[in-house]
Chains A and B, each alone.
Chain A
Amino acid sequence: MSGSLLILLSFLVGLVVGYLSPASLVLENIIAGQYTLYLLMFLVGLSIGADKNSLNILKNFKLSILLLPALTIVGTFIGVSAAAPFLKELNLQDIWAIGAGYGYYSLSSIYISEIRTEALGTIALISNILREIFTLVFTPILARFFGKISPILSGGATSMDTTLPVITQYCGHEFALISVFHGTVLTIFVPFLVTFFLSL
């Protein structure tokens, strides 16, 4: 619980400081974020290697690991379809396409803006950023009440990088490689699925 609060607090402090800062800082900030992410990935790798149990789970899980990205695709599809009655302004294909960003907001929102409208692209951007933020903030709670796989599926494509540290921290190092695999597969699928849903 305190984990979630600290994560939320870091994010909110950044948000307020960013809001009060001049916009000229944006570029430096993106570069800083990139290098911080690199450092984080290295540290996560280090923690996987240092924990000698991390690699064991791959033996126990076997085929089911391959199934996890498919479960995220199916779960997201069912979930956003169920939400559709509350979104009268949007048609079903657009809602499926936004869902198929799986948190990969930069790419999915660019595709959706190009193929449909800027407004729909912005909804995709916000929705997929929210998916990442939700996973970052609620992983400690999800891991505790819904099992240690649910944060990985919630993270979607981001489970390979931005949400990986928090997943590793709260689900254990033994789930780190599964998380990377899951996120990598979804990241590859995003452009195909987004364009597929929009073409229906």
Chain B
Amino acid sequence: MLTVLLLMASGILLGLLLPNSPRIKSIIDRLTLYTMYLLLGIMGFSIGTNKTLLEKLPALGFQAVVITFGAVTGSVVMGWIAYWLFYKAKH
């Protein structure tokens, strides 16, 4: 966790030194997007190679899906309320 935060902090500092140019911003955004696709591919790969997890998936997966659905729905509703209360109302 510390490595991750330090890397990001150094990125922010370096970013602040960059000139304020839309071209540079769009290059960084595109690089971020491609790296993100790569990381997701690797994540999928991890799960794909984990045969024990894949075998157990149907049996335990249903319960997991139900819990995730509840957790995410509750959080999204809270986020929606927060957006209107704290952010949208002021802009």
> Which A residues are closer than 8 A to B by beta carbons?
6-7, 10-21, 23, 25-26, 29-30, 32-33, 36-52, 60-61, 64, 67-68, 71-72, 74-84, 86-87, 89-90, 95, 98-99, 102, 119, 122-131, 134-136, 142, 146-154, 156, 160-162, 165-166, 168-169, 180, 184, 187
Contacts and interface: CB of A to CB of B under 8 A. Distances in A.
A150 B70 contact: no
Nearest to A26: B49
Interface of B: 1, 3-5, 7-18, 20, 24-25, 28-29, 31-33, 35-51, 53-54, 56-57, 60-61, 63-88, 90
A147 B79 contact: yes
A168 B32 contact: yes
Contacts of A180: 5, 8
Contacts of A79: 69-75, 77
B50 A40 contact: no
B18 to A, nearest CB: 5
19 contacts: A7-B37, A14-B42, A17-B45, A26-B50, A37-B4, A40-B36, A43-B32, A43-B35, A50-B20, A52-B20, A76-B70, A95-B67, A126-B53, A127-B68, A131-B68, A135-B72, A149-B80, A149-B83, A153-B75
Nearest to A145: B80
A182 B37 CA distance: 23
A60 to B, nearest CB: 6
B76 A154 contact: yes
B32 A44 contact: yes
Given A40-B35, A41-B11, A43-B32, A80 B82 contact: no
Given A75-B75, A86-B66, A123-B67, A40 B39 contact: yes
B44 to A, nearest CB: 3
Contact of A18 (B44, B65, B86): B44
B4 A67 contact: no
B82 A71 contact: yes
A47 B29 contact: yes
A106 to B, nearest CB: 11
